[in-house]
Amino acid sequence: MSSAVPGRPDSRDNRTEEQQPRKRTKTESSPGLVQRVVAWVQAWCGFNQPVDSDSPNPSVNSTPRNIKSNSHENSGTEDQAVPNLLSRIIAPLQSALPTSPAVTITSRTGFTPVVTPEPWASTLRQRIVNAVTQRTTVIKPVTPALERLLAREARIDEAVSQLQQQTTRNNFPNLPLGAEEKILQALASHAVVEAFNIPIRGSDLQTLQDGRWLNDEIVNFYLNLLVQRSQTSPAYPTLHTFNTFFYSTLQEYGYAKVRRWSRKTDIFAKDLVLIPVHLPGHWTCVVVDMHSKRINYYDSMLGSNRKGFDVIRSYLAQEYTAKKGGEFDFTGWQDCAPKDIPQQRNGYDCGVFSCTFAEYASRREPFDFTQDHMPYIRRRMMYEIITKSLLTKIDQ
């Protein structure tokens, strides 16, 4: 007996399994409301080919109903009517689309409406652009330990470079073969050599033997050898030297007495000016560095001689006024009496120290000699004076 209610379909379904409609699972995608409405609008507007909701690229070239593509009469108004109508109907549906409205509508209808981007989309785009831009900037991490290691390595490289330079520049070259014979012959001779208007005799040369004080002729001749060498190559600083009587005359009689001593030379155009200073019982050396604006006073007994700086400054000021006019600008000039220089350990090597200070300064070479080198330097100076040529070169 059937329990079906009259006028109502039977709740029991007698159809076979093949005849029953297939139920959709949750994983299967069903056309949404928006897609169905878009399809309905397309059909209502006269498109012959319906939109397949599952097709990713529907035909966008369908010809609307009652619109002839070859008709010249309808090509103006009717072609514009469809897009305008679509825009009025589809625009309210844009906010309901799960993806970009413009992309969905364009793929379904072939019409691209004007869509204002959502705020969240603009923000996301800006964040992506910022992330890509910042990623191209390489930020070097701060590693104090690494920085200290690099600084230490740089100091080591500099020290090695200085050692290599010192090794390359041999400040204590061996005397040539036969040098000793020439020295012995010169010591026994009356007249040895003459240059720079300075005659050197055997008695003058004997002051370079151990335990003797140097005389004026030896000091003056040797300093002129330095000036002569500086003229052989532009690698040397330009030099001018005064003789051993300049400082004492300047100190005792003033500038007027020594004004003509530099009449043939512009001392301010030189790099270095050498001034031997003979104090009572002691030799020192002044080197005026025009390039570095320094008055260097080298004393192997580590004296200062404050009065000596005043004498030299007074001379520079008066010399500049007499030769160039105006006042000498002492801005930036320094008076230096360094204490970290080689020091003599006896009472008779001051002259050799003073000449050696001048020789190193004429090459801008750091002082690396000591008291132990004095016997060798005395012998080398003898040979250099005899041959009128210095053994130390700037390119060694």
Residue of 350, 355, 372, 373 marked active site = 350
Least confident span in 139-153, 176-190, 307-321? 139-153
For the chain, the domains span 33-123, 176-387
**How large is the average pLDDT for residues 61-75?**
43
Identify whether 350 is a catalytic site residue.
Answer: yes
> Would you place residue 192 in the very low, low, confident or very high pLDDT band (cuts 50, 70, 90)?
confident
Among 185-194, 331-340, 361-370, name the one with the lowest average pLDDT.
185-194
Q: Tens digit of pLDDT for each residue in 296-345? A: 999 999 998 999 999 999 999 999 999 999 999 999 999 999 999 999 99
- Region of 332 (left: φ > 0; alpha: ψ -120 to 50; beta: rest) is left
Three-state secondary structure call for residue 293: coil
Q: What's the pLDDT tens digit per position in 114-128?
A: 555 567 767 777 777
pTM for the predicted model, two decimal places: 0.60
What gap in Å lies between CA 302 and CA 344, rounded to an integer? Answer: 9
- Please report which residue ranges of the chain form alpha helices under DSSP H: 33-44, 77-90, 101-109, 119-135, 144-168, 179-187, 202-205, 216-230, 246-253, 255-258, 306-324, 350-361, 374-387
What confidence tens digit (pLDDT) does each residue in 234-265 have? 999 999 999 999 999 999 999 999 999 999 89
Q: Say how far residue 292 (Cα) sits from the centre of its chain.
A: 23
User: Which alpha helices (H) appear in 188-304, and where do they start and end?
Assistant: 202-205, 216-230, 246-253, 255-258
Do you know the residue count of the chain? 396
Of 204, 278, 285, 299, which one is the catalytic site residue?
299
- Beta pairing, strands 239-241 & 272-279: parallel
DSSP, collapsed to helix, strand or coil, labels residue 200 as strand
Residue-level pLDDT at 388: 96
pLDDT of residue 160: 79
In the chain, what percentage of residues exceed pLDDT 90? 53
Is 299 among the residues known to form the active site?
yes
**Residue 336 is a catalytic residue:** no
Q: What is the DSSP string of 76-108?
A: THHHHHHHHHHHHHHGGGGGG-SS-HHHHHHHH
- Report, as an integer, the average pLDDT of 70-91: 50
Taking Cα atoms as reference points, which of 396, 376, 392 lies closest to residue 183? 376
61 vs 44: CA distance, rounded Å: 16
More confident residue, 188 or 68: 188
* Answer CATH for 176-387 from 3.40.395.10, 3.30.930.10, 3.40.190.10, 3.90.1310.10: 3.40.395.10
Q: Which of 271, 282, 335, 373 is catalytic?
A: 282
- Which is nearest to 301 in space by CA: 354, 225, 254, 258? 354
377-394 pLDDT, tens digit each: 999 999 999 999 999 887
